[in-house]
């Protein structure tokens, strides 16, 4: 079996550390792990397969020195904009977790369960979608193929880990009644929820909400799907939760919907409310799958369905999805 040098850019962050863990767990054929981060992290080490690996500076020089075939990037959009194209020019397949290239028409935006075929149409960069979008489209895809999704109204309940290490640290400091070293959220997050993720745009929505709209259409390959999103940060840790209301073009059969979701790759059904079984972040935490429950007809519109969808944003929403893309890519080599 071929083995590959793998760069992890942003290796000290919440997603980067999870990527390293997922590469190891899934036995990705890593020849050499190359963890990169900012100058703040030079001198630190990450652990991989029982060994300590020194973190190096992400720079054009480092990328050129290694010319690794695969680069998993999760160091933020501005860093990806600067270094992604440099890595790609060195022959590295960049799988980028940031928002930098997601809506670039030349860059595939991939969730393997939904549009695996796009992996092979890359020009050096493949974008990993926004975490809240990934888990939603995993559930929508099998239903769209059968009944055609017309409109989606989604409200999210997003974990503090979605805001990176500093988001997590703010909640932990507030729990201990300490002043956070860095105020990641505009307000206290403990005992609170903030209808505000990423920046506001002139139309009153946030960039996170726009990502859910635009990325859903791009991944599903269908610009006719209408999406309305409200994204909310809540003081949870294990994953993002979503209330998803779907209106289909065609009438649907509820048993068939359950079968489609149950049979779909990457989905675990937790749909037994009478026995108090429904998806929750504490169960999704550190799991690769997307959990679906509270499946019920919306009687207020024709062809309406309600779903409750939970997934670990650091796993399926980021690291696992990126590693799955790399796995599919090497299968095609």
Ligand X SMILES: NC(=O)c1ccc[n+]([C@@H]2O[C@H](COP(=O)([O-])OP(=O)(O)OC[C@H]3O[C@@H](n4cnc5c(N)ncnc54)[C@H](OP(=O)(O)O)[C@@H]3O)[C@@H](O)[C@H]2O)c1
- Catalytic residue (choose from 193, 231, 240, 285): 240
What CA–CA distance (Å, rounded) separates 195 from 155?
Answer: 10
Query: Judged by CB under 6 A, does residue 58 bind ligand X?
Result: yes
Active site (annotated) includes residue 131: yes
Q: How many Å apart are CA 30 and CA 200, to the nearest integer?
A: 40
We find the least distance from the C-beta atom of residue 138 to ligand X, in angstroms, to be 14
User: How far are the Cα atoms of 89, 121, 135, 292 from residue 93, in angstroms, in the given order?
Assistant: 9, 12, 24, 32
According to DSSP, residue 318 is labeled I
C-beta of 293 vs 317, nearer to ligand X:
317
Cβ-based nearer residue to ligand X, 3 or 183: 183
| Contact status, residue 291 vs residue 279, Cβ threshold 8 Å | yes
Among 6, 16, 23, 110, binds ligand X (CB under 6 A): 16
**Residue from the set 90, 92, 97, 170 that interacts with ligand X by CB under 6 A:** 97
CA-to-CA dists, residue 103 to 139, 175, 224, 294, angstroms: 21, 38, 16, 32
Q: Does 38 bind ligand X (CB under 6 A)?
A: yes
Which residue do the tokens 């942003």 mark?
Answer: 10
> Taking a C-beta distance cutoff of 8 angstroms, is the pair 111, 219 a contact?
yes
- CB nearer to ligand X: pick between 198 and 327: 198
On the 0-12 / 13-18 / 19+ scale of CB atoms within 10 A, 274 is exposed
Nearer to ligand X, 118 or 322 (CB): 322
Q: Which of 79, 107, 127, 268 binds ligand X (CB under 6 A)?
A: 79
- For residues 241 and 163, the answer to whether their CB atoms sit within 8 Å is no
Quick one: tokens of 234? 């809540």
**Residue in 103, 105, 60 with CA at minimum distance from that of residue 84:** 60
* Nearest residue (CB) to ligand X, 212 versus 314: 314
Figure out which of the listed residues 6, 12, 102, 252 binds ligand X, where binding follows CB under 6 A.
12
Q: How far is the CB of 216 from ligand X (least distance, A)?
A: 15
Segment 119-178, which members bind ligand X (CB under 6 A)?
Answer: 131, 161-162, 164-166
From the list 6, 63, 68, 75, which residue makes contact with ligand X (rule: CB under 6 A)? Answer: 75
Q: Using CA atoms, how far apart are residues 306 and 104, in angstroms rounded to an integer?
A: 31
When asked if residue 94 is in the footprint of ligand X (CB under 6 A), the reply is no
Q: Which listed residue (122, 131, 210, 231) is catalytic? A: 131
CA distances (Å), 278 to each of 172, 214, 271, 284, 325, in order? Answer: 26, 28, 6, 11, 28
Is the separation of the CB atoms in 34 and 58 below 8 Å? no
> Binding ligand X by CB under 6 A: which of 6, 14, 70, 309?
14
Q: Minimum distance from CB of 26 to ligand X (Å)?
A: 18
Tokens of 86: 């440099």
Taking alpha carbons only, the member of 199, 207, 198, 215 closest to residue 152 is 215
> What would the x/- binding string for ligand X be over residues 188 to 217, using CB under 6 A?
------------------------------
Instruction: Based on the shown chain and the rule CB under 6 A, indicate whether residue 10 belongs to the binding site for ligand X.
Output: yes
- What is the Cα 206 distance to its own chain's centre? 18
Question: Is 240 a residue of the active site?
Answer: yes
Of residues 25 and 249, the one with the C-beta less far from ligand X = 25
Interface pick for ligand X out of 40, 121, 146, 265 (rule CB under 6 A): 40
Asked if residue 131 lies in contact with residue 212, where contact means CB atoms within 8 angstroms, the answer is: no
- Shortest-Cβ-distance residue relative to ligand X: 13
Nearer to ligand X, 92 or 98 (CB): 98
**Which positions are annotated as active-site residues?**
131, 240
Footprint on this chain of ligand X (rule: CB under 6 A): 10-16, 37-38, 40-41, 58, 74-77, 79, 97-98, 131, 161-162, 164-166, 313-314, 317-318
């Amino acid at each position: 079996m071929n083995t590959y040098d793998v760069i992890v850019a942003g290796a000290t962050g919440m997603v980067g550390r999870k990527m390293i863990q997922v590469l190891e767990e899934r036995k990705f054929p890593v020849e050499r792990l190359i963890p990169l981060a900012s100058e703040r992290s030079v001198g630190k080490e990450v652990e991989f397969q029982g060994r300590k690996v020194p973190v190096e500076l992400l720079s054009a020089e480092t990328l050129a020195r290694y010319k690794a075939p695969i680069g998993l990037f999760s160091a933020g959009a501005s860093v990806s904009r600067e270094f992604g194209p440099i890595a790609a020019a060195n022959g590295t397949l960049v799988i980028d977790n940031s928002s930098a290239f997601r809506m670039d028409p030349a860059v595939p935006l991939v969730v393997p369960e939904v549009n695996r075929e796009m992996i092979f149409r890359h020009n050096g960069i493949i974008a990993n979608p926004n975490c809240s979008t990934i888990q939603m489209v995993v559930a929508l895809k099998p239903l769209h193929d059968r009944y055609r999704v017309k409109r989606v109204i989604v409200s999210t309940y997003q974990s503090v880990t979605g805001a990176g290490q500093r988001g997590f640290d703010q909640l932990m400091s507030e729990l201990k009644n300490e002043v956070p070293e860095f105020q990641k959220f505009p307000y206290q997050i403990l005992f609170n929820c903030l209808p505000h993720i990423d920046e506001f745009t002139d139309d009153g929505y946030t960039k996170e909400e726009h990502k859910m709209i635009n990325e859903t259409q791009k991944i599903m390959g269908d610009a006719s799907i209408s999406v309305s999103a409200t994204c909310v940060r809540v003081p949870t840790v294990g994953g993002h939760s979503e209330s998803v209301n779907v209106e289909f073009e065609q009438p649907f059969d509820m048993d068939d919907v359950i079968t489609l979701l149950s049979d779909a790759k990457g989905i675990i059904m937790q749909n037994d409310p009478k026995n108090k079984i429904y998806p929750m972040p504490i169960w999704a935490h550190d799991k690769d799958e997307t959990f679906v429950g509270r499946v019920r007809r919306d009687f207020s519109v024709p062809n309406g369905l309600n779903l409750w969808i939970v997934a670990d944003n650091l796993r399926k929403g980021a690291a696992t999805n990126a590693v799955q893309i790399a796995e599919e890519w090497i299968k095609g080599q």
